[in-house]
Chain A
Amino acid sequence: MKQRFRLALAQISCEKADKTANLRKMEKTVIEAKKQGADLVIFPELSLTGYVVRDEIYELAETIPGPSISIVENIARKTKTYIVLGMPELSRKTQATLHNTAALVGPRGFIGKYQKMYLPTHSVFEEKRYFRPGYDAAAFDTPLGRIGLIICYDIFFPEVCRLTRLAGAQLIVCISASPAIRRAFFETLTSARAIENTTFLAYVNLVGIEDGLQFWGGSRLIGPQGKILGKAKYDEEDLVTCDIDYTDLRSVEAFVPTLRDLRPELFDKLKESAEKL
Chain B
Amino acid sequence: MELNPSTLDMDWSEVETKILRFIKDYVRKSKMDGVVVGLSGGVDSCTSAALSALAIGGKQVQALMLFEKETRNPEDIRHAKLVAKQYGLNAQMCDITDTLGAFYRSIPSFDLADKLCKGNVKARTRMIYFYYYANKMNLIVCGSSDKSETMMGYFTKWGDVAADIWPIMDLYKTQVRRLAEHIGISKKIARKPSSPALWPGQAAENELGIKYEQLDLILYGLEHFLKVEEIAERLRLKRELVEKVKRRWLSSEHKRRMLLTAKLEYRTVGWDFRLPRDPYQLAREDDL
**Chain A interface (Cβ within 8 Å of chain B)?**
16-17, 52-56, 126, 129, 180, 208-212, 214, 235
Report B11-55 CB contacts with A as 1/0, cut-off 8 Å.
000000110011001100000000000000000000000000000
Identify the closest chain A residue to B28 (Cβ): A209
**Please, could you name 29 A-B residue pairs with CB atoms under 8 Å apart, sorted by A?**
A16-B276, A16-B278, A16-B279, A17-B276, A17-B278, A53-B276, A54-B274, A54-B276, A55-B274, A55-B275, A56-B275, A56-B276, A126-B274, A129-B274, A208-B25, A209-B21, A209-B22, A209-B25, A209-B26, A210-B276, A211-B277, A211-B278, A212-B22, A212-B26, A212-B165, A212-B277, A214-B18, A214-B21, A235-B17
Which B242-283 residues have C-beta < 8 A from chain A?
273-279
Q: Which residues of B contact A53 (CB under 8 A)?
A: 276
Report B213-237 CB contacts with A as 1/0, cut-off 8 Å.
0000000000000000000000000
Q: Which residues of A contact B277 (CB under 8 A)?
A: 211-212
Q: A16-B279, A54-B274 are in contact. List 18 more A-B contacts (CB 8 A).
A: A16-B278, A17-B276, A53-B276, A54-B276, A55-B273, A126-B274, A129-B274, A180-B18, A208-B25, A209-B26, A210-B276, A210-B278, A211-B277, A211-B278, A212-B22, A212-B277, A214-B21, A235-B17
Identify the closest chain B residue to A52 (Cβ): B276
Identify the closest chain A residue to B19 (Cβ): A214
Shortest CB distance B169–A (Å): 10
Shortest CB distance B220–A (Å): 15
Shortest CB distance A79–B (Å): 30
Measured CA separation A214–B26 after assembly (Å) = 12
Shortest CB distance B29–A (Å): 8
Q: Which residues of B contact A214 (CB under 8 A)?
A: 18, 21-22
Which 3 residue pairs spanning A and B have beta carbons closest together? A209-B25, A54-B274, A211-B277
Measured CA separation A235–B16 after assembly (Å) = 13
Identify the closest chain A residue to B267 (Cβ): A55
Shortest CB distance A213–B (Å): 10
A211 touches B25 (CB 8 A): no
Measured CA separation A235–B19 after assembly (Å) = 13
Measured CA separation A16–B278 after assembly (Å) = 8
Q: Which residues of B contact A16 (CB under 8 A)?
A: 276, 278-279
Shortest CB distance A90–B (Å): 18
Q: Which residues of A contact B274 (CB under 8 A)?
A: 54-55, 126, 129
Q: Which residues of B contact A55 (CB under 8 A)?
A: 273-275
Shortest CB distance B12–A (Å): 15
Q: Which residues of A contact B278 (CB under 8 A)?
A: 16-17, 210-211
